[in-house]
Structure 1
Amino acid sequence: MKKYKKIAIVRLSALGDIINSAVVLQFIHKKFPDSYIEWVTEEAFAPLLKEHHLISKTHTINLKKIKKDKNFSLLKKNISYLRSLGEFDIVIDMQGLLKSAIVSRFISKNTHGFDKESSREGLSSLFYKTTSKIAYEENIIKRNCFLTSDALGFKLDDEMILNKEAIFKVAKSNFIDVQKTNIVFIIGASWESKKYPKEKIIELCNELKESAIIVWGNENEKKDAEFICNHSSYATLAPKLSLIELLSLISSVNLVIGNDTGPTHMAWAQNIASITLFGPTTTRMIYETQINIGIKSNSKVDILKINKNDFSIKSIEVEKIVKRAKELLNYGI
C-alpha cells in the first residue's frame, strides 16, 4: 500500500455535508497514523474544523463573498493562497462540484474525485488526476467513505462505519439539567419545505413530556422557537449558540429530533440518538443505525431533481414520531 504523508480534503460546504464527510478522518488516521491532513472549507464552517484533533491545518476561502461582490481582487488572493500551500501526496475533492474541483486543482495536480457519472456536476471530473465510480444515488456517507478509501487504497466497510468513534471531541454542555431526559429539537432548515410544522412540534413536546430544548439559528427561527415555547410547558428556548456550542449541546442530550439539516446530522456524528424527518429529500442523506433513524413522508423523490415545493413533511404523523422517540429513549442510551 502506498503511504500518504500529506493529504488535503476539499469540502467547502454545507454544514451537514462537512459533518458527514469528517467521518473519514478517523479511518485515514488508522491506516496512515503519521499522515498530516489539511482541510479546505468556506470561512463560515472553519470553527467546526479548526480544533479537530485529527486535522493538522484548516484553510479557508470565501467563494460566497467573491461571487456576491464580484470581487476579483479577493479571487486572485484566494488563488494565490491555495497555490502557496505546498505539495500534497493527494487532494481529495469530497464535494464533486465544479467549484470544488477547480479549488482542488489550484492546490495540486494530484487530485482525486468522483468520475463523470458519479458527480452532481460531471464537468468536475475533468480536473482530477484519478477518479472513483459510485452511484450518485448511493447513501451520502457511503459515498464519502468509498471515495476516500478508494483514493487511498484501503478497504472501508459498513462495520467500520457502524462502530465509528464520535467524530468531534467537545466538552459537555452546561446548558442542560443532566437529571432530566433531554431532547433537542432542530426546527430550521435551508428550505421551507424541509421544515416540520411548529404546531406539530408543540404536539410532540406535549406528548413526550420530557425536557425539550428548541434550537434556532436566525431571527425567523427564533420567533418559531418562542412560539413553541409559549405553547408547551416542556419546551425551553436555547440561547444563541456558536457551532461549537451547538455541537456540545447535541453531544450531551438523550435524543435529537429534527429536519434534514446540518445540526440534526451532528447527532449521528456524535453517536447520539436521532430522528431525522424527510419530505423533499430521502434517508440517503443519513446513515441509519439502531439509534439513528429517518422518518420519510410518502412523497416520491427524484434526487437528481429535488422538488423544493414538496411540503409533504407536514403529513408525517406526530404519533409515529412519538412512538419511535420513546423506543429510542428506552433503548438504554
Structure 2
Amino acid sequence: MKRILIVKTTSMGDVIHALPVLNDIHVHNPTVQIDWMVEEPFADLVRGNRHVNEVVSVNVRQWRKLGIGHTWRQWKQLKAQLVDREYDAVIDLQGLLKSALLACAARGTRMGPGFSYAKEGVASLFYRKRAGWDPQAHAVERLRELAADLLNYRLTGKPVFYDIHPRKVLTAIPRGTEIWFLHATARDEKKWPLVKWRELAHRFSDLGYAVKLPWGSEAERLQAQRIADGIAHVEVLPGMPLGALRIRMEDAGLVIGVDTGITHLAAAHYLPMVALFFATPAWRFAPRFNPHAISLGDVGHEPAVGEVFEAATRLLRGNKL
C-alpha cells in the first residue's frame, strides 16, 4: 500500500486513543503515506504525530448547526478536495454513520468495524472490508486490533502516541513544581465535585506546589475560577489552542484528572498522573499504558479526596507502589 486515509474525527479522547495506529502501520510498512480526517479543533493533536502526511480537517459540528443543506454543500466540497487522491484504503475507525459518510468522500477501498462492533451498526454497510476486536480489550487496543486486522499485519510492542518515551525511573517531584488539575469534562456524570477539587487544591497549596487549571470553554473557565478562588498558588491558565496546550502541559510534574480528553493527552505523554474513573469503566479507559499512572475509582465508586491525595503523594515521592 502507498497511501491510506484514516477517518477518526472526534472526540478528543477517541482521537488520542487512535494515534498508536499510525506507528503500528509504519512498523508494518515504513513507506506508506497516511492522511487523517479529523474535526478541526483536534487537528493539532494529529499533526503532532510525525507519521501523519496530511491532515484533512472537517467541521461537522459547525456544519450541522447551519442545516442539512449547508452540510451537503460542505460534503461536496470535501469530496472535490479529495478527488485527485487515490487511497489504497480508507479506514473508518469511528464506526458511526457520520464517519462512514465522510469516508465516502474519499476514493479508495472503505474499511471499518463490522456490524456488531460499530457504534452504529448501519455504518458497516458502507465498508467493503470489516473486522473487529476483543470485546474485553482496552479502548486503545481495540483500535490497534481493528486496523491490524483490516490491513493484515501483526501487532508488536506497546502503543506509541508521539515521539515521547516514558522515563524509566520516576524520581521525587520537588515543591514548587506544577500540578495540573484536569477538572473539565462535557459530561456532568464525569465531573468530580467542586468541593473535592478545592480541598485537594488547599492540600497541595499548603505543601508549596503550584496548581494549574486549564479550561476549554467559558463554563470550564468559570469552574476553574471557582476552584481557585481564595487559594494561594492556584492559577487559572489562559485559554489556548490544543497544540499550545499540549506543549505547555509538558511543564507539569503531576496531573490529576477525570476521564476527559486532556487527561488522555497527558497519559499519552507519560506524565505522572492520578486518573479518576467513576462514570466510565476503568478497565476500558484507564491509562494502563502509562507506567507512571495510578487509576482510582470505577463505575459507581467516586474516589475520596484522601484517596486521591495519598496516591498523588506517592507519585510526588517518586514511588508509585
Q: Do both proteins adopt the same fold according to a TM-score greater than 0.5, normalized to the shorter chain?
A: yes
Indicate the SS of the match to 1:131.
strand
Post-superposition Cα deviations, 1:234-272, rounded to whole Å, max 9, x if no partner, equal 312211121112111222211111111111111111111
TM-score norm. by structure 2 comes to 0.87
1:259 aligns with 2:252: no
Per-residue deviation, residues 247-305 of structure 1 (Å, max 9, x unmatched): 11222211111111111111111111222212221221233143123212451xxxxxx
**Aligned match of 2:128:** 129
Counterpart secondary structure, 2:105: helix
| 1:115-126 correspondence runs (5 A) | 115-126=114-125
Q: Could you list the runs of 4 or more consecutive aligned residues of structure 1 that deviate by over 6 angstroms after TM superposition?
A: none
> Is the aligned partner of 1:39 residue 2:36?
yes
Task: Flag the 1:85–1:323 CA change in 2: closer, same or farther, 3 A.
Answer: farther
The alpha carbon displacement at 1:49 in A equals: 2.6
- Counterpart secondary structure, 2:235: strand
Mapped contact 1:91–1:111 kept (Cα < 8 A): yes
Summarize deviations over 1:161-202 as a string: whole Å, max 9, x none. Answer: 2xx363579xxxxxxxx9832211111101122111121112
Query: Taking every aligned residue pair, what percent have the same amino acid on both sides?
Result: 27
The Cα offsets for residues 106-126 of structure 1, whole Å up to 9 and x where unpaired, read as: 313411111111111111111
1:201 to 197, 200, 207: 197
1:17 aligns with 2:10: no
Paired position in structure 2 for 1:287: 287
Counterpart residue number, 2:55: 58
1:149 is matched with which residue? Answer: 148
- Contact 1:109/1:129 (CA < 8 Å) preserved in 2? no
Say if 1:7 and 1:38, in contact at 8 Å, map to a contact too: yes
Supply the distance in 1 between the matched residues of 2:299 and 2:14 (Cα, whole angstroms).
25
Distance in 2 separating the partners of 1:200 and 1:117: 40
Query: Deviation per CA, 1:2-34, whole angstroms, max 9, x where unpaired?
Result: xx2101100111111111111221222222221
Structure 1 range deviating more: 205-214 or 317-326: 205-214
Aligned residues: 306
Cα 1:10/1:168, change in 2 over 3 Å: farther
| CA RMSD in angstroms, aligned pairs only | 2.4
- Relative to the length of structure 1, the TM-score reads 0.84
TM-superposed CA distance for 1:36, in Å, is 0.8
Residues 206 and 234 in structure 1, CA contact (< 8 A), matched pair in contact too:
no
Query: For residue 302 of structure 1, what is the aligned residue in structure 2?
Result: none
> In the alignment, what sits opposite 1:227?
226
Give runs of aligned pairs for residues 240-259 of structure 1, distance below 5 A: 240-259=239-258
Once residues 121 and 293 of structure 1 are traced to their aligned partners in structure 2, the CA distance between those partners, rounded to angstroms, is 33
* 1:7–1:88 Cα contact (<8 Å) kept: yes
